[in-house]
Amino acid sequence: TQLLEQSPQFLSIQEGENLTVYCNSSSVFSSLQWYRQEPGEGPVLLVTVVTGGEVKKLKRLTFQFGDARKDSSLHITAAQPGDTGLYLCAGARRDGGSQGNLIFGKGTKLSVKP
């Protein structure tokens, strides 16, 4: 069972378009992180959201954490070819201890064509 579902799985758009990717779960997370991964490299943390309803902006990227802390979205405005990559969301479970780890979604593979 995939605890974190990301959609869409693949997204191919033209430069300048806007897009939104989603990260959904039936579980509550104490925090949620978004990573970007380029081919042959490790994931790089973009943002951490911790409060239900929280919105964070990172230049053209806007991240939102759902009110119930079960879902999140990433919106990119005026996408550029440099935004191409695999976007991963990862939730930190509230029940720590032996379950204290990040649960990753399978990712959204974004391709932005010039």
Partner 1 sequence: DSGVTQTPKHLITATGQRVTLRCSPRSGDLSVYWYQQSLDQGLQFLIQYYNGEERAKGNILERFSAQQFPDLHSELNLSSLELGDSALYFCASSVGGRASAEQFFGPGTRLTVL
Q: Which is nearer to partner 1, 60 or 94 (CB)?
A: 94
Residue type, 95: D
Task: Read off the DSSP letter of residue 77.
Answer: S
Task: Read off the DSSP letter of residue 5.
Answer: E
- Considering the complex, what minimum distance in angstroms separates the CB of residue 101 from partner 1? 4
Q: Which is nearer to partner 1, 98 or 114 (CB)?
A: 98
Q: Which is nearer to partner 1, 79 or 88 (CB)?
A: 88
- Considering the complex, what minimum distance in angstroms separates the CB of residue 45 from partner 1? 6
**Interacting residues with partner 1 (CB under 8 A):** 2, 30-31, 33, 35, 40-45, 48, 50, 88, 90, 92-93, 96-107
Q: Do the beta carbons of residue 36 and residue 43 sit within 8 Å?
A: yes
Cα–Cα distances in angstroms (integers) from residue 86 to residues 27, 29, 54, 100, in the given order: 23, 22, 23, 24
